[in-house]
Amino acid sequence: MSEERLVLARGSYAEYRRVRGILQQETTSGALLLVAAVAAMVFANVAPAAYAGLRDLEVGPDILGLHLSVGHWAADGLLAIFFFLVGLELKREFVAGDLSDPKKAVVPVAAACGGALGPAVIFVLVTWGDANAMRGWAVPVATDIAFAVGVLAVIGGHLPAAMRTFLLTLAVADDLIGIAIIAIVYATDLHLEFLALAAIPTLGFMALTQFARRWIRKHKIISTAVLSVVAFITWVFFFNSGIHATISGVVLAFMVPVGASGHGSGLAQSMEHLVRPTSTAIAAPVFAFFSAGVTLGGWQGFVDAVTSPIGLGIIIGLPAGKTIGIFATTWVVTKIGHARLDDEIAWIDVLGLSVLGGIGFTVALLVCELSFGQGTHEDDVGKVGIIVASVISAVVAAIILGARSRHYKAVEEQEGLDSDNSGTPDVFERNSANPADSVRHPRTCPG
């Protein structure tokens, strides 16, 4: 008799360790983003002229149109580093993560699609008839994994391994959808000659990372400088091609080889360790600082923003659209596949993760600027909506998941973790020769 297929089931010990490590790093990123966003809001409302002057200050050479505002450099330049890191995570998921197994990937990928469609539909319905407002239909589509994990850190660190894995895989698939939207929907005035030129340094980057790995590891400083120059040239050509320049980061990341196990072997892992501090401490927070600084204009300005079609479309679209889209799609796909949830997971847990998906920030802010133009009234209104919607999602998710914290802690104890989170789950059979081959022993966990 064949064993019933499980959804949201925990995988190998190596996969558990990888997912847990990534989410711990995202917690730090979320904290820095929050600090940057709060600082921007305070600066923009205490000294709006000074904030706008700093954001709109133009620097850079005129050659190839690179005389840009500081805010533009943050959105198009620094954020390319963030997208390079996202690209590395995407490729690793496709090569060694859950997205490499169609049976495991179908539920989180379908959930991500539902979670993207739901907010877009709600936004369009709310803004129907207002052509200017409807341009922002893609704003509530993206989930910010860093902020979502930050909320989880506040709630408690006892989330079961299966839920952690589902959240990360869902976020990765969600990122892929957001990247596709930015690359396709917001491509304007395409210049194919620059895209053709971009192929040259891209192929050079691929050749270096594929065939000169020993040289890269031996001469870290020189190789980092060379790869950075090649990456910048690629970025410049993408910037002038009409496709948003951040996409260059994803394209270059896909050129980097990933180790077969996805755990510590391969150049992609080395580059991730090298790039993540820059992305976490500089690129994403600086972008947040120059993007989240919305001048509210007092209480009345805030009320006007949240009651406008754009504001309402986002405030309803992110929390409600993500919750309905992720939860309903997960339920339907599970039932169609004649599967069931892992014993340690209940549908209320899936609901909590679905609500958590309504936290949008980094990509949502970028899409808002692309939709309405940086610094415009519609852009400010949309960003107020993103912040309010994210707060609502965070609070509701905290209530739902927080109510289950005792159960999560019991599950964690049954997984054999030490109180300092440094132990090894007893339910895994460790393979000392190859940890990636470690498997999970079946066991029943009371729900």
Give residue-wise pLDDT tens across range 377-422.
Answer: 999 999 999 999 999 999 999 899 888 888 888 877 776 543 344 4
**Distance of alpha carbon 55 from alpha carbon 292, whole angstroms:** 11
Q: Is the pLDDT of residue 362 over 70?
A: yes
- Rounded mean pLDDT of 142-170? 76
Q: For 260-273, how does the pLDDT look when each residue is reduced to its tens digit (9 = 90+)?
A: 654 545 788 889 88
Beta bridge partners of 428: 440
Q: Report which listed range, 3-17, 26-40, 44-58, is most confident.
A: 44-58
Per-residue model confidence (pLDDT) at position 445: 38
For residue 195, is it within any domain? no
Per-residue model confidence (pLDDT) at position 15: 60
Per-residue model confidence (pLDDT) at position 331: 94
- Rounded mean pLDDT of 201-208? 96
CB 124 within 8 A of CB 338: no
**Distance of alpha carbon 8 from alpha carbon 447, whole angstroms:** 14
Confidence at 52, pLDDT banded by 50, 70, 90: very high
Strands 340-341 and 6-7: parallel
For residue 229, is it within any domain? no
Q: What are phi and psi of 69, to 5 degrees?
A: -70, 160
- Give the count of domains, the chain: 1
For residue 291, is it within any domain? yes
For residue 22, is it within any domain? yes
Q: Which of 81-90, 127-136, 163-172, 418-427 has the lowest mean pLDDT?
A: 418-427
Q: Strand locations in 22-152, DSSP E?
A: 58-59, 68-69
For residue 233, is it within any domain? no
**Distance of alpha carbon 292 from alpha carbon 355, whole angstroms:** 22
CB 31 within 8 A of CB 150: yes
For residue 39, is it within any domain? yes
What is the domain range of residue 19?
6-73+105-177+287-425
For residue 15, is it within any domain? yes
- Rounded mean pLDDT of 91-113? 84
pTM of the predicted structure, to 2 decimals: 0.83
User: Counting runs of H as helices and runs of E as strands, what totals does the chain give?
Assistant: 21, 6
**Distance of alpha carbon 94 from alpha carbon 175, whole angstroms:** 13
Per-residue model confidence (pLDDT) at position 20: 64
Per-residue model confidence (pLDDT) at position 239: 93
CATH number assigned to the domain comprising residue 318: 1.20.1530.10
- Rounded mean pLDDT of 58-87? 91
| Long-range contacts of the stretch 270-276 (C-beta < 8 A, 24+) | 270/217, 271/88, 272/85, 272/88, 272/89, 272/92, 274/224, 275/81, 275/84, 275/85, 275/88, 276/25, 276/85
CB 189 within 8 A of CB 432: no
For residue 370, is it within any domain? yes
Per-residue model confidence (pLDDT) at position 188: 81
- Give the type of residue at 124: V
DSSP secondary structure string for all residues of 141-156: G---HHHHHHHHHHH-
- Rounded mean pLDDT of 108-127? 94
Four-point Cα dihedral 173, 175, 176, 181, nearest 10: 130
